Amino acid sequence: MTQVVSMDSVRRVWMGSLEITELIRRLGIRTLELPAEAAQRLGAIRAATGLKLPDCCVLHAAETSRAAVATFDRTLAARARECGLTVVDSPDPA
């Protein structure tokens, strides 16, 4: 299953000896084209969720590719679940 990742800003991050870019490659994350006809659906997602457009693009990509949403953003995770999408996120602290 392909996963869509949302990042507020992309930075070089080291996790042990692996760079985040290597982790992304290993997960099989890929770029998806956003066709012009997606505009209407993106508007509907924005109206329904109140999310900013970049997050709406994440939900649209997950919908169209039948992928899970991977995020640390609790609001995005909640809205994705409300849309019936599978979410991979961090566990709530105990």
Enter the pTM of the model.
0.71
28 domain residue, yes or no: yes
45 domain residue, yes or no: yes
DSSP assignments along 24-78, one per residue: HHHHT-------GGGHHHHHHHHHHH---HHHHHHHHHHHHHT-EEEES-HHHHH
94 domain residue, yes or no: no
Task: pLDDT band for 8, please (50, 70, 90 cuts).
Answer: very low
Give the pLDDT confidence of 20-75 residue by residue, as tens digits.
Answer: 777 777 777 778 888 999 999 999 999 999 999 999 999 999 999 999 998 889 99
43 domain residue, yes or no: yes
Q: Is the pLDDT of residue 5 over 70?
A: no
* Number of domains the chain is built from: 1
Q: Is the pLDDT of residue 11 over 50?
A: no
Query: Residue 76: which domain range?
Result: 3-89
25 domain residue, yes or no: yes
Q: Is the pLDDT of residue 17 over 60?
A: no
Residue 2 near residue 24, CB atoms below 8 Å: no
